[in-house]
Amino acid sequence: MSRLNGKVAVVTGGGSGIGEAIARRFGQEGASVAILDLNTENADKVAAEIESAGGKAKAFACNVADSANVKEVFKAVEKEFGGVTTLVNNAGIAHIGKVHETEPEDLDKIYNVNIKGVYNCLHTAVKHFLNNGGGSIVNMASVASTMGIPDRFAYSTSKGAVYMMTKSVAVDYLENNIRCNCISPARVHTPFVDGYLAKTYPGQEKEMFEKLSKTQPIGRMGQPEEIASLALFLASDEAGFITGSDYLIDGGFNNLKV
């Protein structure tokens, strides 16, 4: 298991959910993994478990919405592991509501994390890649990037931006050995889903979990490890001929939904 040997990977939001699964998988495959997260307690735990399994990892407290903080953290990662070769833009937040239910402060919050946060990491990482001879970027988009999802105005807006940032970076750096792709999951079973159900449907968690699971034609939610497997492929040299692509991983949601 050495598909990422010699790689230095930055994974944002790597302390839980999809980001945690990606960080663990990258560590198993030989990468030195920098786990960026606001929650350093969770990120430290993930990093320690990767290290105890024989990998290399370290947690870094980072607010991706703060450009100065992002630059400082990338410098710290480079000092710790060497030149950054891989970025996974996974950190993100959700918002539920139609446009008339979305207040300006709601949109600002989504923008700062899901759009500006991705931009901050792209802006910094690409500068490192240009100095290091290239690199690979995997952005976490969503099925909401390219199709309408009820009650997700702000979230869909942000993920549409991630989709187009991916295309733009891919075309701009073709001659610089920098690849940029994105992954578009449907609903994935993460701690966020469990927290949402407990808060919104107390006492009905099991019933609502089954209902949400069945919104995917395949009949279940995705697992974080399944997203991690796709991220691993796109980050590895096996995907060296792939850039500017969006990969649906949605249990048939986008094409088979009836």
46 CB contacts (<8 Å, ≥6 apart)? Answer: 14, 15, 20, 23, 24, 35, 57, 59
As a whole number of angstroms, the distance between CA 129 and CA 243 comes to 15
Annotated catalytic residue: which of 111, 119, 155, 196? 155
Which residue's entry shows tokens 């979990």? 209
Alpha-helical regions (H) of 13-66: 17-28, 40-52
> Is 155 known to be catalytic?
yes
As a whole number of angstroms, the distance between CA 222 and CA 235 comes to 20
Sheet holding 86-89: strands in order across? 56-61, 32-37, 8-12, 86-89, 135-140, 178-185, 246-249
Catalytic residues: 155
